[in-house]
Amino acid sequence: MNTKVLLLLLGLVAVAAAEKPRSVYSSPPERFETFEEVEPPKYGFDWAVQDGESGNAFDHQEARDHDNTQGSYTVQLPDGRLQRVTYYVDGDSGFVAEVTYEGEARYPESREFQPPQTQYSSP
């Protein structure tokens, strides 16, 4: 009987000593409450891919300084034209783009579909 009472008391002490779980809606720990001053965004990049075998050509360049972003990219379209998109974003003006095309669209001659001829041979 004494063992049961001792185990019960040890269990109660363990529960009382246990840390209370944080509420899901509690404030974040103090280490997250301090805000560091960050530099305004400023970057620039460019890249290009040209595949001689397929004729595909892609490129993209962009520069950003604080709230002013400008750039352009090109895509080789399946019809042979080059599509160029030049864009800018200035503060809250939103994304403003100008799309131009270089070259003339070329389409292969349309041919009526002819199913392949299948030859059967008997054994």
Q: Give 114-120 contacts, CB < 8 A, sequence gap 24+.
A: none
Task: Tell me the whole-structure pTM to 2 decimals.
Answer: 0.56
- The pLDDT of residue 70 is 95
21 vs 4, higher pLDDT: 4
Backbone angles phi, psi at 25, to 5 degrees: -100, 15
pLDDT for residue 1:
67
- Give residue 7's Cα distance to chain centre: 57
Q: Which pLDDT score, from 0 to 100, does residue 78 have? A: 85
Q: 66 and 40 in contact (C-beta within 8 Å)?
A: yes
| Other CB atoms within 10 Å distance of the CB of residue 83 | 15
Q: pLDDT tens across 74-111, in order?
A: 998 888 899 999 999 988 878 999 999 999 988 877 66
Kindly list the domain boundaries of the chain, sorted by start residue. 2-102
Give per-residue pLDDT as tens, 21-79.
Answer: 666 666 666 665 566 778 888 999 999 998 888 778 899 999 999 889 999 999 988 88
For residue 115, pLDDT beyond 90: no
